[in-house]
Each structure stands twice: as C-alpha cells, then as structure tokens.
Chain A
Amino acid sequence: MKIDRRNFFRAIGATGVSLALGDQISAASKNEESTDVFAILYDSTRCVGCQSCEYACAEAHNLPEPSESIEADIMRLTNENRRTVVNAFNTSKGEITIKHQCMHCLEPACVSACLTQAMYKTPEGPVIWRADKCMGCRYCMISCPFDAPKFEFHSPNPKIVKCDMCYQRTQQGLIPACVENCPAEAILYGKRSELLRDARKRIVESPELYNDYIYGENEAGGTGFLYLASVPFEELGFRTNIQKSSYPALSKSFLYSVPFVFVLWPTLLLGIHEATKNNHTKNIDEDE
C-alpha cells in the first residue's frame, strides 16, 4: 500500500483522536458499568446477631471457626483469621448488631495503591486479592480508609486477607456464603442499582424503623456494600470522617504532574547548564 502525505496525516489524525477520546469513551462506559456491579445490601434492623455469617464465611474460606461471642460495645475487628465480624452496640434505640467486612468500593483505594495489580476490582464488582502477583508491601492497608485488608504477620509466606464477596462461589453461580446462610435475610446479594432501589423503598415504606441514610451509597465514592440501620452510623462504630468522593482521586494530581516534570525538567536543566557554562571557565580562572 502506498502512503501519500494526505493519507499519512489522515491516519495520524485518526490515531490522535482515538487516543485522546478513546480513553474518555471507555472511561464513561466503565463508570456506568461500575455502578451496576454486583453488591450486597445489609439491613441491620433484620440482623439478630446470630453470627451465622461468621461461621459460614470461616467454612467457605477454610478459616478457623469463630471462637468469641458478641458482647455489646466491645468492638471486634476483622483479622487474618476472620474476614467478617458482627458487633453489638448500645445505641439510642437499644442494642443493635452490625456486620463488618471489606466494603468493595467502586473506586477502591487499595486497587489504585497496588503496584502489582494483585488487588483487583473485578468487572463483576468484588475486589479480590491475587497471591501470585502480591509482593506483600502492604500499601493497600495504608491506603484503605476502612482498614479492610489484613496481613498474616506471623507467616513466612503471608497473605492479604479480606472479604472477596465469595468471588469463586459467585463465578460458579452460587451466592456469597454469608448471604446464603443468613437466617434472618438481613443480607441480600444482587445488582447494586436494584439493591439501592430496594433500600430506598424500605426507608420510604417504614420511616419509623429506619434512619434515613444508606451507608455506602456515596462513602468513598460509593461502595459495593450498602448498609441500612435504625440509628445514625456513628452510633454503630462506623468512621464518620470517610470522604464522599473517590480516594484514588487524592493522588491523581500528583500522578498527572509526573509526565510534565519528565518532559520539562530535562529541558530546563540542559538549558540552565548551557546558560551557565561560562561560569565554569571563569571560576577556574579565578582559582588559578
């Protein structure tokens, strides 16, 4: 094929446009997709605190059986041996139990922090960890606003442990273990948009029962775990200072400046070097 000048420029132009726009187009469609991922709605007004989810989770992931029972106002945390915990709090509306685990953010800080793509946001929604890529730097733990990833500090071959929304089970057509085993139907698995609609409906239908807030709708730019409760979430041991926008955006401006520095600095430095060259010979003359 012969390439004349016109065709050449046409090709260059097309490439340039698709390079510039392609990103935005795919980014836009990605956003739409990412808000309709699979998610979990947890309704604490239905939770009876039976810890069935803890037992089911331990069994599904070969973790030791939970040994502690729930005590009011004693905050148990997830760790390398348990991916989910249920805690109880004495609140303005009596004792309330609530489940904790990874929030599966739509724009996860841990994923953008990972330098080996070991932390991975699957297109289906769950944020998973991949052992063969991870180098164990724990930057995901530093970055996660919910402190979700946990590390096996006492193993020579340590793993990052956190809820993965039973990714392997859902790939086989099953639903997450905690959802399946909840006797009170407090945990629902489904498309995020449908779950949000369901959550809003519940609030509208029984305003006396619910605190008018869906935790996770906007926290950290939206999460894949949505919460309903009868009291404000501060009373349930939730962090209230979580920002409502994406965490990866916090380091974006720094990362965007990198290519500019990479182009501008060498040019400037070389320019200054050339401009001050004469100083060099002058200084030598002064010395001698």
Chain B
Amino acid sequence: MNSTATYPIEKEKGSKKIWKFLLAEFKPKGKILTPFNIISVPVILVGLVIIVIRFWKGIGTVTNLTQEVPWGLWIGFDVVTGVAFAGGAYVITFMVYILNMHKYKSIVRVTVLNGFLAYVFYAGALLLDLGRPWNVINPIIGNNFGTSSVLFLVAWHFLLYMIAQLIEFSPAIAEWLGARRARKILSGMTLAAVIFGITLSTLHQSGLGALYLMAKEKIHPLWYSEFIPVMFFVSSIFAGLSMVIFEGSISHKVFFDQISDKNHHAHKKIVIGLSKICAATMFAYFFLQVLIFVHGQHYNLLNTPMGYWYLTEIIGFVFVPMLLFVLGYKRNNVLAVKIASIATILGIILNRLNVTVIGFRWDAATQYYPTWMEIVVTLTVIFTEIWIFRWVINRMPVLRESPEWAKDNH
C-alpha cells in the first residue's frame, strides 16, 4: 500500500533527473575549433540557404536537371551510392549474429549506427528531391499503393529497414540512459531485427538497381543489363565493407580515447579478415561483369570514349583493388587494405554514377552535370550526418565498452 502512494513522487523525481541528464548531454563536448567544424559549419549554413531556395522557387532553380535527365546528383549519389555504402551494416550483422563470427562483434555497433544514420540522411535527401513532398505519405498510408512499382518496394524497405536498424542499435541507447529493463527487452529483439534487416537489405540493395530496368534504351549499353539488380546487390557487399574499413581507420584515430586496448589490437585482425571477404566478393562481381559483357556482345563499344571509361571502372577500380585486397591479407599489410578500400569506394561511386547519371541519356542533346549548389547540398547532408555520428559516439557506448551492468554473454 505504502509503495503505491510514494511511487508517483519517485517517478517524478526520476523523470526530472532524466531531463537534467539529457539537457547536459545535448551540450557540445570537446574542442569547438577543430578543422572539421571550421569547414563543415559554413558549408551546412550555405546548404540550408540553398534548401530554402529550392522549396521556395522550385528544384530547377538550384539544380541542372533537365526533362531528359530528371534524376541527378541527389538521387544518383546521395541515395543510390549512399545506400550502397550503408550496406556494411547488413553484412556485418550477418557475420556476427547469423554466422556467429565473434571476432567482428566489436565493430557491430559502430557499423549499425553508421548504416542507420546513412539511411536517415540519404533517404532524407530524397525528400529534398521530391517535387511534391507533402504527398510522400501516399505510398505509406491510404489507398494509393502503387504495388507494381519498384520504387514502392524501395520506399517501404527504407522505412522498415530504418526501424530494424534502430532496434539493432537501441541497446546502446538504453545503456546510455541507464535503462536496464528496456535494454534487456531490446537486446532480446536483436536477432529478429537482424534477420528482418538482412532480408530487407537484399531486396532493396538490388531494388535500387531494379529501378533502372525499365530505362532500357536510356542507359549506355555497357552499363545496362537485366542483371543490374544482382550486380547492385553483390557490389553492395564490398562497398559496405570497404566503407567499414575506411571509416574504421578514421574512427580509430579521431576517437582514440574511446577504444579499449583489447579492441585496438583486435582491429588489425578485423581489417585483414574483412579484406578477404572484399576480395572474394569482388572477384565474383568482376567475373559476373565479364560474363555480362561477353553476353551483351558490345565489343565494338569498347573502342569509344565510353568504352575507355567502362574499362577504367572495371579494371582500375574493381580488378586492381581486388588484387590489393588479396595482397593485403596474404602479406598481412593493413596499408594495402586501406588503399584498396579507398579505391573500391571510388569505384562504387563511379559505377553508381555511371548507371544513374553519366551513362543515363548519354546521348541526350543537353548533358546533365550538377550545379555547385547541388554539390553543396550533398556535402551538407554528409556533414550533418557526421555531426550526429560524432555526437552519438561521444555519448553512447558505441566504440567504447558497455557499462559493467550491461555486460552479458551476448
């Protein structure tokens, strides 16, 4: 009896405490005048102004989009390329939770956080590109389901996958807030979220390629094939892992103080292990590319400017980095792996832009190239994401070890 009477008061005290805690956490931590801040803040401010102009005067005012090329940098890079790089989250969760490869456990949280923020921001960038964004709920609610559309599938998967990733990451939030019971419930949901997330990822990583299946004559024949969905899926594996390697090597310098000695030592092993997987999937990808090329019978196109461009992508940014990955794990050379990961990242950017922008209506009278404003908005999206990422890393147990109470055997 007594406890029921006192309980509400205690609860009020508790929630007050939480508010104080949250307020304190929202204040910036660390140095303010870092090189990153000095560069990113002006870019973000200019980007916000451009976004206001875009909603006020129309998309054409700030972009170079044409009636022939209606999707430009914001879709081709922000969404299509950004999501490929976020693929690391489903690959790493597959390795840790499905294959039970314990070795990679220490990078799960940071990868999932990265993936989650990438989806939030890059799918958010999609809103900037929508002409009539107030109707964006139409495919989600109501009787406007365009179920024959690949974009309908992609839109739903983005939404559901974001929720799945939030669940995967939520134990870290619970640990930050000190919510013991919530953490227990949320970690119990991890495996289900992981399985659901991998299924969704398989479908929408390939779905982003399938978007372009109907644009058969509009994409340069060296980049169009009916297998675009398969190629997008396979390449998302090494795109995501290369991003994990690249991002990890930066995090390990910037957030040095957060990472325990044990994880520091383990990191080299992780990088070498990931390079093996990259090399294997890149070999499969390269082999498929050759098969598709031979089947397409486009030999005559190789000796054209677009043909040289194609060879640059396939040889220079797939085959060469693949060899570098092999060299890296054979010789235990982390530097080679890092260089390979950067080359792979560039190769993925090339590939996605070749399908979506450069090779799209390559024969159009007026070629599309992005305005400086489109580039600044893209940078704004990326920088804002890094700001949020840093804010989370500095507060929640992502790179650093979980608190003592939250350490269980899973």
Which residues of chain A have a CB within 8 Å of any CB of chain B?
77, 79-80, 109, 111-118, 132-139, 141-143, 145, 147, 150-158, 239, 241-243, 247-248, 250-251, 253-255, 258, 261-262, 265-266, 269-270, 272-273, 276-277, 279-280, 283-284, 287
Is B102 within 8 A of A283, CB to CB? Answer: yes
Pairs A-B, 5 closest by C-beta atoms: A136-B131, A153-B60, A283-B102, A136-B132, A115-B152
A-B contact pairs, 14 of them (CB 8 A): A113-B151, A114-B149, A116-B144, A135-B139, A138-B71, A142-B70, A153-B58, A153-B63, A154-B61, A247-B214, A248-B148, A266-B195, A269-B195, A277-B100
Q: Is the CB of B216 within 8 A of A243?
A: yes
The answer to whether A248 and B199 touch across the interface, beta carbons within 8 angstroms, is no
- Report chain A residues within 8 Å CB of B153: 255, 258
Q: How far is the CB of B381 from chain A (nearest CB, A)?
A: 18
Name which of B152, B211, B215 has the most chain A CB atoms within 10 A of its CB: B215
Query: Could you tell me the distance in whole angstroms from the C-beta of B332 to the nearest C-beta in chain A?
Result: 19
Do residues B132 and A158 form an inter-chain contact, with CB atoms below 8 A? yes
Q: How many contacting A-B pairs (Cβ < 8 A)?
A: 175
Task: Enumerate chain A residues within 8 angstroms of B212, measured Cβ to Cβ.
Answer: 142
Q: Which residues of A contact B100 (CB under 8 A)?
A: 273, 276-277, 279-280, 283
Q: Report the Cα distance A94→B217, complex, angstroms.
A: 29
Chain B residues whose CB sits within 8 angstroms of the CB of A132 once the complex forms: 135
Picked from A145, A262, A272, the residue with its CB within 8 Å of the CB of B203 is A262
Partner of B59, one of A158, A262, A283: A158
How far apart are B76's CB and chain A's nearest CB, in angstroms? 11
A residues within 8 A CB of B247? none
List A contacts of B229 (CB < 8 A).
254
Closest residue of chain B to A79, judged by CB? B67
Assess whether B102 is in contact with A135, with CB atoms less than 8 Å apart: no
Residue of A nearest to B66 (CB): A153
| Residues of chain B within 8 A of A142, CB atoms compared | 70-71, 211-212, 214-215, 218
Kindly report which residue of chain B lies nearest to residue A251, judged by CB atoms.
B213
B229, closest chain A residue (CB): A254
A255 touches B70 (CB 8 A): no
With an 8 A cutoff between CB atoms, is B145 at the interface?
yes
| B11 CB → nearest A CB, Å | 39
Q: How far is the CB of B246 from chain A (nearest CB, A)?
A: 26
User: Nearest Cβ in chain B — how far from A286, in angstroms?
Assistant: 9
Residues on B with beta carbons closer than 8 Å to the beta carbon of A137: 129-131, 151
Q: Chain B CB within 10 Å — which of A80, A134, A150, A243 has the most?
A: A134
The minimal Cβ–Cβ distance linking B270 to chain A, given in whole angstroms, is: 13
Instruction: Verify if B103 is at the interface (C-beta below 8 Å from A).
Output: yes
Are B150 and A273 in contact, with the CB atoms below 8 A?
no
Q: Nearest chain B CB to A283's CB is how many angstroms away?
A: 4
Name the residue on A nearest B262 (C-beta): A287
Cα–Cα distance between A269 and B226 once the two chains are bound (Å)? 27
From known contacts A143-B215, A155-B58, infer whether A113 and B131 are also in contact, taking CB-CB under 8 Å.
no
B31-72 interface with A by 8 A CB criterion: 55-61, 63, 65, 67-68, 70-71
**A113 with B214: CB separation less than 8 A:** yes
B146 engages A136 (CB within 8 Å):
no
Contacts A151-B131, A265-B198, A272-B99 hold; do A139 and B60 have CB atoms under 8 A apart? Answer: no
